[in-house]
Amino acid sequence: MDTLLLARLQFAATASVHFLFVAVTLGLVTLLVGLQTAWVVTGNPRYERLTRFWGQLYVINYVLGIATGIVMEFQFGLNWSGLSRYVGNVFGAPLAIETLVAFFLESTFLGMWIFGWHRLRRGVHLALLYGVMLTAYASAFWIMVANSWLQNPVGYEVRDGVAHLTDFSALLSNPALWMALGHVVSAALLTGGLLMAAISAWHLSRRTPDHALFRTSLRLGLVTAALAISLVQGFGFAQFGPVGALQPTKFDGNPEADALIADWTARFGAGDYLPPVLANVGLGFMILIGFALGLLWLLVPLLWRDWIIRLRFPLWLIMLSLPLPFVALILGWIAREVGRQPWVAYGLLPVEQAVSPISPWLMATSLIGFTLLLGTLAVTNWVLLARHAARGAADPALGRPPAQPPADDDTRPEPAFA
C-alpha cells in the first residue's frame, strides 16, 4: 500500500463530503433570508410557516455539516504535516480567520436565531439571520482565499526552508480567487434553489393540503436555480483564461507547459508533472451537467398560471434533476484539486513532501475510520432531511410557540363543552 495514495484518498473523501454540506448551507440560508424578510415586511403568515419549515431543514444540515468540517480539519495535522510545517504560516492565516467566523460568529448568530423565536422583536430576529448569512459567505470567502493560495502561491517568501507571509493583501487580490469564489457561491445557490424546488415539487405532486405554501417555495427555488445556473456557467467559463495562465499544465495543449516542466525538473528532479486524466474527465462531465441544468430556464415560463403544476411531468423533471448539482460539485472539486497535481501548493510544494511520514497500515486504518464516520454523518443528514421534508410545513418544531404542543401530541386536554 502507498501512504501518499491513501492520504490523498482520505482527504478527497472528507473534503468532498463536507463540500456538499457547505453548498446546501450556503444556498438555503440565502433563500431563508428572503423568506423571513418577506414575512417581516408583509406580515403574511405564509412566509412565517415557510421560514420555519425551510429553517428546520437548514439547521439539520448545518449541525451535521459542522461535524464533517471538524473531521476534515484533522487531516492537516494527521496526514499532511509537511504542508503544515512548510506553508502553515501562510496557508493557516485565512483558515484561522475562517474558524473564528464559522465556529464563533456564525454559530452564535444561528443559536440566537434558533432560540430567539417569540422572544425577540421581529426586526432583531431577522437581523440575526442576516448575520448567519453574512458570516456564512465570509466563511466561504476565507476558505477560497486559502485554497486559491494553494492554486497560485503569492505574497510569501521562503526563509530557512519555511514559507512566510509577506503581503496579506496579495492573498485578497490573488487572480485565482475571485472568479472561483463566484463560481462556488453560484453553485451553492443552484444547489439550494434546486433542493427547495425539488422538495416543493414532491409535495405538489402528492396534492398536499399546503398547496399554496409549496407553490410559493417552488417558484422561489426554481427561479433561483435558473438564475444561478447562468452565473455558474458565466463564472466557470471566465476561469479558463486566468487558470490557463496561472497553471499552464492544467489544460492540454498549453505551449508554456513544456518550459515550466523543464524548470521544475531542474529544481525538484525528474517526475510526472502533468495532472491525471481524471481532472479533465471531471471537468468535461461537469460542463455537460452545467449545460443540462441550463434547461431549467425552459421550465420558468411554465410558472405562468401554474402550468408547471397542472402538467405534472415538469415536477418529476425537477425531482429527477436534484442529484445533478451535487454530482457537478464533486466533479468541479476534482477538476480544481486534481488538476494541480502533483502539487499541494502549485510549483512550490509537491505532495510527496507534504504527506506525513506514517506507515501505510496506519493510514489505511485512518482512511477506513474517517470514511465510515463521514459516510454515517452524510447518511444521517439525508435521512433526517428527507424525514422532516416529508412531514410538510403543517407544524415544524422550529419556531413553535413555547405553549403550543406538537400537532400530533395526544396529551392535549380535551375541549370542555357547556
What would the pLDDT profile of 271-321 be if each residue is shown by its tens digit? Answer: 899 999 999 999 999 999 999 999 999 999 999 999 999 999 999 999 999
- Coil, strand or helix: which one is 396? coil
Reference 290, options 225, 222, 202, 223; nearest CA is 225
How many Å apart are CA 341 and CA 336, to the nearest integer?
10
Residues 195-234 have pLDDT tens digits of 999 999 999 998 778 899 999 999 999 999 999 999 999 9
Query: Residue 146 to residues 34, 164, 169, 283, 359: CA-CA distances in angstroms?
Result: 30, 14, 13, 22, 28
Reference 3, options 351, 269, 278; nearest CA is 351
Q: Running DSSP on this structure, what letter comes out for residue 103?
A: I
Sign of CA pseudo-dihedral 243, 244, 248, 250: positive
- Coil, strand or helix: which one is 176? coil
Q: What is the pTM of this model?
A: 0.92
In terms of DSSP bridges, do strands 162-165 and 156-159 run parallel, antiparallel, or are they unpaired? antiparallel
* Whether pLDDT at 103 is above 80: no
* Whether pLDDT at 417 is above 50: no
pLDDT at 92: 87
Q: Which residues contact 401 (CB under 8 A, 6 or more apart)?
A: 118
Q: Which residues contact 259 (CB under 8 A, 6 or more apart)?
A: none
Neighbours of 168 (CB within 10 A): 12
* Whether pLDDT at 17 is above 50: yes
Reference 263, options 280, 249, 242; nearest CA is 249
